[in-house]
A and B are shown apart, each in its own frame.
Chain A
């Protein structure tokens, strides 16, 4: 199905610099559930350089959600150290972590998690509001981010007036508005149909190539992982495989092979003889 064409860029020169964006040093995470102690992570060490596009994979219970939470500074490791952009965040207070999430991280969720009855523009502005950026500047930045995901003309729409794919694009724009070091996407295509999924991956690939944004995607779909440059496989709380993607998918090429929504509609209409030939 997909055209396994060449990967446009290999890891760029910027990725070769000494300090990686993410560095985990033997990270452990143990959940204390009273009687039992669950070891979600058992000594994970890894580095992710600037400009990388990494897919985190693994079956449920493998620790991939836990690693996502720790990378996203929503949780702290029980043991080990986590350097984000050169700063040790593993022992930070909740307040400091909130600031780190705000400035250094962009989140994209499976459920989109946009605020309902709030316009796309205001949703995108939200992280900038908490960063204390003045109103005119944050509106400008939010419009810029919406333009990058191709939704500038939908800025005034509420989430309920947008399709799933559009909502996810708004969420991506929200993730970008504070110009973070990394964009973390947790099952970003989990709630989308296959064509929309590829469109979302296209946006992520474009951002990765054109803006050199570091992207980490958590997914259980091998197809989706093929759009990344590097795959990390987790099992039983350990990183069991770290591999560069061979025959990487390029979303833009894949899209050409898929019928557009309009084409589909047109074909269906033709079949029913509802359109003049």
Chain B
């Protein structure tokens, strides 16, 4: 018997018990629908995060001061005093892959303006930091390199700090107090929102690093260097040369740990990919559980169907159906059931994610891969769970089957 005939036969058998077929498919429909919807929500979130990473500059390389060990006691990151502006100059001079670099160190201080005050992080840096992080000034201007050279008391505010201290007042040119020192506000940065970990990136004040080193923190070293490479590939390629250069400059013996830490955006993207992989496994797990449940439903109904149609099977065998004919008849029926469920599930999933992005305004991104996987999986479920009932049907003895009441 040819395939089209078998397929038509399967459709008719399923149409005969519409309610039963629909309920049997429900397991697959829900499973596939849920996976499609959840994957598209996940992909939407993923897309946002990727955009966020891009916004931070995909070529960025961060070099943070690491921990050192003093008599067996390890200090946290930023604990060492070895990372300096000289290191930064050396990197710029000797590693052509690195285009720009800005020094940075932070310090938490109480800031006061008028009757408002706030505790925030003061980051000392150079004007090119804003370029490296692609973070433009929205009002006023950034401080200049000259102001860095003379360690002037000037600063640039993040929007969160600006709102708290100034409310509706124009902050440009006003003087605020950071710790015990007066600072002139030169500019306000554009809002950057939360970072990947949910931290408010706008709750910050930037000032010349010389000023922070000498007048606030009272140190001569840096906590990190924000650099940018000529390209995304270069940012990865630069890690090795920077490491050997810094190890040499810091006189670290072979076998000892680095006293610094290098992070690139590519690393962060890697981390993101790992997170995504974990999510994918999790979703895959949920999907396989629901498909398993759906598959068991199909097997159950197919077994019932084989028993109900024992006599029909007997008749078919008597008039010349081979075991293969009977087996493929029931197998095609099971696969039709599961794939039909899969297709309906895909439609439900698509509609569901469209509704979610409309009403909850969550970003969703339809995944072609998830749809292809859903189709393949539902077919596989049909074959896997349909085989046993179909085989049972094929093994029936025609004499017994014809006598079955």
Decide: A115 and B315 in contact? CB cutoff 8 A. yes
Q: How far is the CA of A127 from the CA of B399 in the complex (A)?
A: 17
Residues from chain B with Cβ under 8 Å of A178 in the complex: 320
Is A95 close to B, CB under 8 A? yes
Contact A75 to B399, CB < 8 A, known contacts A99-B320, A130-B1? yes
Residues from chain B with Cβ under 8 Å of A58 in the complex: none
Residues from chain A with Cβ under 8 Å of B318 in the complex: 72, 74, 101, 107, 113
Q: How far is the CA of A126 from the CA of B190 in the complex (A)?
A: 77
Is B323 close to A, CB under 8 A? yes
Q: How far is the CA of A240 from the CA of B371 in the complex (A)?
A: 70
Question: Given A94, A127, A132, which contacts B319 in the complex, CB threshold below 8 Å?
Answer: A127
A-B contacts counted at CB < 8 A amount to 59
Question: Given A75, A102, A109, which contacts B320 in the complex, CB threshold below 8 Å?
Answer: A102
Q: How far is the CA of A101 from the CA of B316 in the complex (A)?
A: 11
A-B contact list, 28 entries, CB within 8 Å: A69-B399, A72-B318, A74-B398, A75-B399, A94-B322, A95-B323, A98-B320, A98-B321, A99-B320, A99-B322, A101-B318, A101-B319, A102-B319, A107-B318, A109-B402, A113-B318, A113-B402, A114-B315, A117-B16, A126-B315, A129-B1, A130-B320, A130-B321, A130-B322, A130-B325, A132-B2, A174-B319, A178-B320
Q: How far is the CA of A119 from the CA of B322 in the complex (A)?
A: 23
Decide: A130 and B319 in contact? CB cutoff 8 A. yes
Decide: B315 and A113 in contact? CB cutoff 8 A. yes
Is A179 close to B, CB under 8 A? no
Closest CB of chain A to B395's CB: distance in Å? 10
Contact A94 to B325, CB < 8 A, known contacts A109-B402, A115-B315? no
Q: How far is the CA of A46 from the CA of B320 in the complex (A)?
A: 25
Closest CB of chain B to A31's CB: distance in Å? 11
Contact A115 to B319, CB < 8 A, known contacts A69-B399, A130-B1? no
Is A87 close to B, CB under 8 A? no
Q: Could you mark each residue 1-19 of chain B with 1 if its beta carbon is under 8 Å from any beta carbon of chain A, else 0?
A: 1100100000000001000
Question: Given B311, B312, B320, which contacts A127 in the complex, CB threshold below 8 Å?
Answer: B320
Decide: B1 and A98 in contact? CB cutoff 8 A. no
CB within 8 Å of B: which of A105-147?
Answer: 107, 109, 113-115, 117, 126-127, 129-132
Closest to A177 in B: B319
Q: Could you mark each residue 302-336 of chain B with 1 if its beta carbon is under 8 Å from any beta carbon of chain A, else 0?
A: 00000000011011111111111100000000000
CB within 8 Å of A: which of B73-113?
Answer: none
Number of interface residues of B (CB under 8 A): 21
Decide: A132 and B1 in contact? CB cutoff 8 A. yes
Q: How far is the CA of A103 from the CA of B399 in the complex (A)?
A: 19
Q: How far is the CA of A153 from the CA of B16 in the complex (A)?
A: 26
Q: Could you mark each residue 125-144 of chain B with 1 if its beta carbon is under 8 Å from any beta carbon of chain A, else 0?
A: 00000000000000000000
Q: How far is the CA of A103 from the CA of B320 in the complex (A)?
A: 8
Decide: A126 and B316 in contact? CB cutoff 8 A. yes
Closest CB of chain A to B219's CB: distance in Å? 89
CB within 8 Å of B: which of A63-118?
Answer: 69, 72, 74-75, 94-95, 98-99, 101-103, 107, 109, 113-115, 117
Q: How far is the CA of A69 from the CA of B318 in the complex (A)?
A: 10
Residues from chain A with Cβ under 8 Å of B311 in the complex: 113
Closest CB of chain B to A109's CB: distance in Å? 7
**Given A74-B398, A107-B318, 4 additional A-B pairs, CB 8 A:** A101-B318, A115-B315, A130-B316, A132-B1
Q: Could you mark each residue 190-205 of chain A with 1 if its beta carbon is under 8 Å from any beta carbon of chain B, else 0?
A: 0000000000000000
Residues from chain B with Cβ under 8 Å of A129 in the complex: 1, 5
CB within 8 Å of B: which of A206-246?
Answer: none
Closest CB of chain A to B67's CB: distance in Å? 76
Decide: B319 and A107 in contact? CB cutoff 8 A. yes
Decide: A115 and B402 in contact? CB cutoff 8 A. no
Q: How far is the CA of A117 from the CA of B322 in the complex (A)?
A: 23
Residues from chain B with Cβ under 8 Å of A109 in the complex: 402
Closest to A95 in B: B322
Residues from chain A with Cβ under 8 Å of B323 in the complex: 94-95, 98
Q: How far is the CA of A95 from the CA of B315 in the complex (A)?
A: 16
Interface centre among B5, B314, B322 (most CB of A within 10 A): B322
Residues from chain B with Cβ under 8 Å of A72 in the complex: 318
Closest to B15 in A: A117
Closest CB of chain A to B97's CB: distance in Å? 71
Closest CB of chain A to B179's CB: distance in Å? 89
